[in-house]
Chain A
């Protein structure tokens, strides 16, 4: 996914260039947000980034929902010396799949995360100390309600589109069901109306790994020198396997050994195979940027999400919006297999909505929508989809 810097962000015409993280604080008491779990939370700071220009009619805004451990930094660089650009830089920019020369693009950090929007690492106004494990339970609906408040704050009545993959796709569905009049189109990638029991099982093992880490200290580890990194790294390693596919692991690593051409016959050796080394590396990098309490909260929010449970049959909840839908799945995704997308499509057809569906052939599993080599295919479809949505609106 990473691209090496060939241009500096200022000179690359295909980059959004340098971007600044912005933030706004809403839900000040006494107007706190009442969460689905009935607790209230406020004030809530929302960190976000924007790209491109909002036009005068304020009708060219596209909101991007990030996945479980993603962040608002979707494109460009925050500093010229940053080695890596935002997580979807190859897809968001001038002339790219989501064209920032036409559209005003917004991406915000999720509630309960650890990248700037209020979450367990934020200070609890009542105590001054981080919320930690006491951060109130939250759901995907709560995340979307906070993002809707941000859109209102930005003065946008109706989004041209809301786009997201995986957990981001769940947010898109929630947007459609909860705020049917606020969106003109919805793009759901590698996602579904609920996580499968198998997906919940993987999340459960990840959470167990965090809970059993002695350094987790019941979630009260802030200010300590030794953070609960082993459990979190393990959780990430497990989750990462679900993002790959049998095919992509075979292609990338096969049974190749990491250190030599021969087996060592040594149990103590942590990495014998290259795939092991890769997973350890992913785990290690993850703990540098993510918080264990946030991980617990967000995976639970993902487990709890069930569009039909929350809003009734999809053919009714999705019938409330006249948004155009684009649903994309990937052949080797086993976390959100194509059947999950087809369920959405079927409900939309039943509701007589405008829906386009495509299963892209990719060896890269669930993560395919983030893999640079897969993006041209997505571009082929997403770019005209938004163009037509925008033009049809202009005609009316």
Chain B
């Protein structure tokens, strides 16, 4: 595997964390679905005085959460979140995980059952590098932000920003805010975002609210 295909997540994750945190009010109740080692939740707890809960399937990551003092449920997002009572949270964070679940629309609706607002970060497979790789090389893309070979990728769905907007039209929720992430920053009004953003942050709310 070439060096380019190695994943260097930290700078991007820190950026995403900061971006997510800027959308969460102090003292809120926050759930992070696919919370990894609980780093973001711990920051929300310590710096923003939030009351937090993580959901994570991976055992090592789960233990890391416990060691940080972040309360966490070991659960598979594909099997639903039915143990979590409706309206338990002010915010749900769903970062770089939507493309990994079997039924994204059902999971999003479930998330908006348990939380008032959802902050969803998704990779944009409409990015020009991805498009170029597919067109020129005729191969599944491997880029800095999508660093997996197709056969070991956790991603089971491939979506673009346009696709996500379509999904939001069909689901029982609406997009309150769309923030394309270009390079290492989130841009409120970007030119050609679907071509230039490697990821996007969406703020979602239930349609009824």
Using Cβ atoms and an 8 Å threshold, which residues of chain B touch A356?
65-66, 71-73
Q: Which of A186-204 contact B (CB under 8 A)?
A: none
B106 an interface residue at 8 Å Cβ cutoff?
A: no
Interface size on B, residues (CB 8 A): 19
When the two chains form the complex, which single residue of A345, A355, A380, A388 contacts B69, counting CB atoms closer than 8 Å?
A388
List the one stretch of A8-16, A281-289, A346-354, A363-371 in contact with chain B: A346-354
A380 and B74 contact, CB distance less than 8 A: no
B88 and A381 contact, CB distance less than 8 A: no
Closest to A347 in B: B85
B198 an interface residue at 8 Å Cβ cutoff?
A: no
Using Cβ atoms and an 8 Å threshold, which residues of chain A touch B88?
349-350, 352
Task: Give the contact-size bracket for chain A.
Answer: 20 to 34
A254 an interface residue at 8 Å Cβ cutoff?
A: no
> A380 with B63: in contact, given A349-B83, A352-B88 (CB under 8 Å)?
yes
B62 an interface residue at 8 Å Cβ cutoff?
A: yes
Using Cβ atoms and an 8 Å threshold, which residues of chain A touch B65?
356
Using Cβ atoms and an 8 Å threshold, which residues of chain A touch B83?
342, 345-346, 349
Chain B min CB distance to A218 (Å): 46
**Interface residues of A: mostly helix, strand, loop or mixed?**
helix
Chain A min CB distance to B75 (Å): 8
A384 and B29 contact, CB distance less than 8 A: no
> A352 with B71: in contact, given A342-B83, A388-B66 (CB under 8 Å)?
no
B12 an interface residue at 8 Å Cβ cutoff?
A: no
Contact surface of B with A, Cβ cutoff 8 Å: 29, 51, 53, 62-63, 65-69, 71-75, 83-85, 88
23 intermolecular pairs with C-beta atoms under 8 Å apart: A345-B73, A345-B83, A346-B85, A349-B53, A349-B88, A352-B88, A354-B71, A355-B71, A355-B73, A356-B71, A356-B72, A356-B73, A358-B62, A358-B73, A380-B63, A381-B62, A384-B63, A384-B66, A385-B66, A387-B67, A388-B68, A388-B69, A391-B69
Contact surface of A with B, Cβ cutoff 8 Å: 324, 326, 342, 345-346, 349-350, 352, 354-359, 380-381, 384-385, 387-388, 391-392
Other CB < 8 Å A-B pairs besides A345-B83, A349-B84, 7 of them?
A342-B83, A352-B88, A358-B73, A359-B74, A381-B62, A387-B67, A392-B69
